[in-house]
C-alpha cells in the first residue's frame, strides 16, 4: 500500500454558460456520453461525455440540454458528490474535478491532480466516501469526501486484477470492485484501508453493478463463456458457448470473506434463442424491485417485474451503456454512447421511447467511428448473442479461453488475445494462418460469431477502428531503468527477439516452442509482447497466470533456468514494452 501526495490545484474557473438551451458540442468526433446521474433537486440529469470532456445538464421533460460544464479533458466517470456537486474522474490529464452544478451563472469547479489515470469512481450512499479506481495501475483509492482537498487523503490499495466497475455497499464502508475484464470481485474495507477479500464468479465483462431495493443484494450484468462448448452455429444458437447474464448475489456473502459468494446467487439468463441480449451493461433496480438494464450490443433497454420472466425490450440508440431512473421511477434515462443521445423510456406496458434527446450535433461518422459501432454491435452475430467487444473487451481481452475453430480444430480452447496494437501484429490467429487483419475480421464474424458475411466497407471500417487501438503506455510501472536495461540485455542474450522481434515484438512465422494443444498443434505464431503488463494469463491456453511462471514453471524457451536476479530484470523489461 502506498500513499501519494495529492496535489491540488484549486482553481475556480468561470465557465461560459450559454442561455438556455445551450449549443450542443460539435466536435470532430463522437462525444460519447458514458455516465448519468439524476438530480432530483433540479429535476434534471447530469450526463458525462467522455470525448467532449464535459458534463451536460439535461432537462429530460423538455428534451433539451440546459447547461454544459467543462471541458475537463477525457472524462472516464462521474458521480454525485452532494446536492450541489458532481465529481468527475478525468483520465487525461489524470485528475478529479468537483463541479458545482447548482451555480447559476457559472460552473465553478476545482481540479485535483491524480497520480494515476482514474478510470472510475463512486461516492458512497451517505456521501461521505469517494472511491477512485485506476484500471491499468490496478489500484483503488478510498478517501473521505471531506478530505478531497487534503494533499494526502486516503490510501491506495493494490488489486490483483484491473478494476472496472465499483459499488459502495449499504454500510457505506465496504466497496465492491469488479474486474474490468474477467470475473473477479474484490471487497475493500475503506475504514481499515485494506483489501478484505478477492473472489471469482463465472463471468467476464462485468459491465453493470447495482444495489437491490432493500440493500440485501447486489445485481451484476455480465457475460459468461462455457467450457466444453464451441463457437459452432448450434452452440451459439442455444446459448451454449456464451450467455448474457443478470446475476444477483447476497450482500452478506460479499461481506463475509469466507462465504461462498455464490451461495445465495440468483442467475437470470437474458434474451432467448432468436433474440439474444448481447453485452448487457447498465443496470438499476427500482424501489419496487423492477430490474432495468441496457443490452448494449443490441441497442435495447429492458425491464422486468419478475426478474427474468417477462422482460420488456425497447429499442434505443447505439450502444446504450448506462441507465438511471427518474425520481418517480416511471422513466428510464438511457445513455446511448455511440449515438450521442439520451433516450427517455416510459417503463409501463411494453415500454415506450418518449423522446430521444441529442447530446451532440449529428454528423457523418469517420470510418473508425463506424467501425467502432460495428465492434460493439452484437447484431453482427447470430441472433445478437455477442459482439467483438464480448471477447475483446474494450479492444483488450476478456481473459477467457474460447474454443473457436480458428486453428481448424475443436476441443482446443485458446486464450483470447488483446487487440491493442493489433494492426502491427500480422499474421493473425494462434497458428498465424490469417494473413491480414481483414481476413481475421471476416473470419471472426462468420465463424466465431456465426454472423452473416460482412460487406467490404464494413470490414474496412472495422479495420480502421482496430487500427486505432493502441497499447496503453501511460500505465507502465515506474520501474528502475537500470533493471529494465539489464532485462533487455538478458532478452537479447537469450535471443528472444528471433521470434518476438522488435518493434512489434512478434514475427510472421510459427514456431515449435515445446507446447502442444489438445489436438497436437505444436507450432504457434508468437503473440506480441507489447502491452504484456495488461495481461492476466499467458501462453496459448493461459497455463501461466503470472509472467514469472512463463519462465519459472513453463521454462519457455530456456535451455537453463534463469538466475534468481535475472528473472526480475527480464520481467521488468517485458512489462515495460
- Candidates 162-170, 225-233, 434-442, 493-501; binding stretch for another protein (CB under 8 A): 225-233
Q: Is the Cβ–Cβ distance between 432 and 335 less than 8 Å? A: no
Binding mask 256-275 for another protein (x = CB under 8 A): ------xxxxxxxx---x--
Selected binder of another protein within 128, 232, 446, 467 (CB under 8 A): 232
Selected binder of another protein within 21, 125, 240, 329 (CB under 8 A): 240
Is 542 an interacting residue with respect to another protein (CB under 8 A)?
Answer: no
Between 148 and 178, CB nearer to another protein: 178
Binding mask 281-320 for another protein (x = CB under 8 A): -------------------------x-xx-----------
Selected binder of another protein within 48, 140, 167, 229 (CB under 8 A): 229
Q: Residue 421: which of 529, 573, 501 has the closest Cα? A: 529
Q: Provide the strand spans (E) within 337-429.
A: 341-346, 352-358, 401-402, 414-415
Between 394 and 536, CB nearer to another protein: 536
Q: What is the DSSP letter of 486?
A: H
Between 226 and 363, CB nearer to another protein: 226
Least separation, in Å, of the C-beta of 228 and another protein? Answer: 4
Between 266 and 490, CB nearer to another protein: 266
Q: How far apart are CA 479 and CA 137, in angstroms?
A: 13
Q: How far apart are CA 338 and CA 341, in angstroms?
A: 8
Is 433 an interacting residue with respect to another protein (CB under 8 A)?
Answer: no
Size of the site for another protein (CB under 8 A): 29
Between 416 and 484, CB nearer to another protein: 416
Q: Cα torsion for 321, 475, 573, 547, to the nearest 10°?
A: -40
Q: Residue 204: which of 238, 172, 256, 244 has the closest Cα? A: 244
Is 356 an interacting residue with respect to another protein (CB under 8 A)?
Answer: no
Is 237 an interacting residue with respect to another protein (CB under 8 A)?
Answer: yes
Cis peptide before 331 (omega within 30 of 0): no
Q: Is the Cβ–Cβ distance between 51 and 90 less than 8 Å? A: no
Is 201 an interacting residue with respect to another protein (CB under 8 A)?
Answer: yes
Least separation, in Å, of the C-beta of 204 and another protein? Answer: 12
Between 246 and 345, CB nearer to another protein: 246
Q: Residue 398: which of 260, 265, 209, 202 has the closest Cα? A: 202
Selected binder of another protein within 238, 329, 439, 566 (CB under 8 A): 238
Between 223 and 571, CB nearer to another protein: 223
Least separation, in Å, of the C-beta of 245 and another protein? Answer: 9
Least separation, in Å, of the C-beta of 297 and another protein? Answer: 19
Between 208 and 239, CB nearer to another protein: 239
User: Three-state SS across 7-49?
Assistant: CEECCCCCCCCCCCCCCCCCCCCCCCEEEEEEEHHHCEEEEEE
Q: How far apart are CA 45 and CA 60, in angstroms?
A: 7
Measured at the CA of 100, the angle between CA 88 and CA 98, to 5 degrees, comes to 30
Q: How far apart are CA 72 and CA 53, in angstroms?
A: 5
- Candidates 69-77, 227-235, 505-513, 550-558; binding stretch for another protein (CB under 8 A): 227-235
C-alpha distance from residue 19 to each of 67, 68, 104, 393 (Å): 8, 11, 11, 40
Is 202 an interacting residue with respect to another protein (CB under 8 A)?
Answer: yes
The torsion angles phi and psi of 219, rounded to 5 degrees, stand at: -105, 135
Between 234 and 492, CB nearer to another protein: 234
The torsion angles phi and psi of 65, rounded to 5 degrees, stand at: -90, 125
Q: How far apart are CA 336 and CA 465, in angstroms?
A: 19
Between 265 and 446, CB nearer to another protein: 265
Q: How far apart are CA 137 and CA 415, in angstroms?
A: 23
Is 452 an interacting residue with respect to another protein (CB under 8 A)?
Answer: no
Cis peptide before 21 (omega within 30 of 0): yes
Q: What is the DSSP letter of 356?
A: E
Is 518 an interacting residue with respect to another protein (CB under 8 A)?
Answer: yes
Is 252 an interacting residue with respect to another protein (CB under 8 A)?
Answer: no
Is 516 an interacting residue with respect to another protein (CB under 8 A)?
Answer: no
Is 216 an interacting residue with respect to another protein (CB under 8 A)?
Answer: no
Is 557 an interacting residue with respect to another protein (CB under 8 A)?
Answer: no
Q: Which residues would be at the binding site for another protein (CB under 8 A)?
A: 200-202, 224, 226-229, 232-235, 237-240, 262-269, 273, 306, 308-309, 518
Amino acid at each position: 500500500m502506498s500513499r501519494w501526495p495529492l496535489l491540488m490545484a484549486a482553481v475556480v474557473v468561470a465557465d461560459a454558460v450559454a442561455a438556455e438551451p445551450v449549443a450542443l458540442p460539435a466536435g470532430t468526433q463522437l462525444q460519447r456520453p458514458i455516465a448519468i446521474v439524476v438530480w432530483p433537486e433540479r429535476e434534471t440529469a447530469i450526463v458525462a461525455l467522455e470525448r467532449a470532456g464535459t458534463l451536460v445538464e439535461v432537462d429530460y421533460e423538455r428534451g433539451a440540454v440546459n447547461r454544459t460544464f467543462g471541458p475537463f479533458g477525457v472524462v472516464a466517470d462521474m458521480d454525485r458528490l452532494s446536492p450541489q456537486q458532481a465529481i468527475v474522474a478525468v483520465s487525461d490529464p489524470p485528475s478529479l474535478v468537483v463541479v458545482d452544478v447548482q451555480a447559476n451563472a457559472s460552473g465553478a469547479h476545482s481540479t485535483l491532480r491524480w497520480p494515476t489515470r482514474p478510470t472510475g469512481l463512486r461516492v458512497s450512499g451517505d456521501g461521505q466516501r469517494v472511491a477512485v479506481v485506476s484500471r491499468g495501475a490496478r489500484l483503488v483509492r478510498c478517501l473521505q469526501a471531506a478530505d478531497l482537498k487534503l494533499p494526502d487523503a486516503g490510501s491506495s490499495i493494490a488489486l490483483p486484477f484491473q478494476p472496472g466497475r465499483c459499488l459502495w455497499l449499504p454500510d457505506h464502508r465496504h466497496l465492491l470492485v469488479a474486474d474490468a475484464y474477467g470475473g473477479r470481485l474484490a471487497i475493500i474495507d475503506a475504514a481499515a484501508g485494506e483489501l478484505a477479500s478477492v473472489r471469482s464468479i463465472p463471468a467476464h465483462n462485468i459491465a453493470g453493478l447495482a444495489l437491490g431495493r432493500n440493500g440485501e443484494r447486489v445485481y451484476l450484468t455480465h457475460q459468461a463463456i462455457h467450457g466444453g462448448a464451441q463457437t459452432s452455429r448450434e452452440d451459439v444458437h442455444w446459448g451454449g458457448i456464451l450467455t448474457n447474464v443478470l446475476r444477483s448475489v447476497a450482500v452478506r456473502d460479499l461481506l463475509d470473506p469466507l462465504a461462498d459468494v455464490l451461495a445465495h446467487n440468483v442467475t437470470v439468463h437474458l434474451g432467448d434463442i432468436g433474440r439474444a441480449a448481447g453485452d448487457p451493461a447498465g443496470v438499476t433496480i427500482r424501489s419496487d424491485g423492477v430490474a432495468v438494464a441496457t443490452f448494449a450490443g443490441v441497442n435495447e433497454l429492458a425491464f422486468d417485474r419478475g426478474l427474468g420472466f417477462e422482460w420488456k425490450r425497447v429499442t434505443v440508440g447505439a450502444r446504450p451503456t448506462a441507465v438511471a431512473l427518474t425520481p418517480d421511477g416511471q422513466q428510464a434515462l438511457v445513455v446511448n454512447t455511440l449515438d450521442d443521445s439520451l433516450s427517455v423510456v416510459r417503463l409501463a406496458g411494453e415500454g415506450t421511447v418518449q423522446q430521444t434527446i441529442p447530446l451532440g450535433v449529428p454528423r457523418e461518422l469517420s470510418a473508425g467511428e463506424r467501425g467502432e459501432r460495428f465492434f460493439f454491435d452484437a447484431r453482427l452475430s447470430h441472433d445478437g448473442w455477442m459482439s467483438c467487444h464480448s471477447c475483446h473487451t474494450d479492444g483488450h481481452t476478456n481473459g477467457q479461453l474460447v474454443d473457436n475453430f480458428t486453428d481448424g480444430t475443436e476441443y482446443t480452447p485458446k486464450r483470447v488475445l488483446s487487440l491493442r496494437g493489433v494492426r502491427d501484429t500480422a499474421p493473425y490467429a494462434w497458428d498465424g494462418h490469417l494473413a491480414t487483419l481483414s481476413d481475421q475480421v471476416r473470419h471472426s464474424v462468420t465463424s466465431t460469431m456465426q454472423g452473416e458475411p460482412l460487406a467490404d466497407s464494413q470490414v474496412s471500417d472495422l479495420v480502421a477502428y482496430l487500427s486505432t487501438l493502441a497499447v496503453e503506455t501511460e500505465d507502465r510501472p515506474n520501474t528502475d531503468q537500470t533493471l529494465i536495461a539489464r532485462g533487455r540485455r538478458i532478452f537479447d542474450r537469450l535471443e528472444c527477439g528471433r521470434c518476438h522481434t522488435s518493434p512489434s515484438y512478434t514475427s510472421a512465422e510459427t514456431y515449435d516452442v515445446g507446447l502442444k494443444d489438445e489436438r497436437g498443434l505444436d507450432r504457434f505464431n508468437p503473440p506480441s509482447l507489447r502491452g504484456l503488463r495488461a495481461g492476466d494469463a499467458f501462453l496459448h491456453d493461459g497455463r501461466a497466470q503470472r509472467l514469472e511462471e512463463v519462465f519459472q514453471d513453463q521454462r519457455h524457451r530456456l535451455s537453463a533456468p534463469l538466475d534468481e536476479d535475472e528473472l526480475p530484470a527480464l520481467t521488468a523489461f517485458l512489462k515495460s514494452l
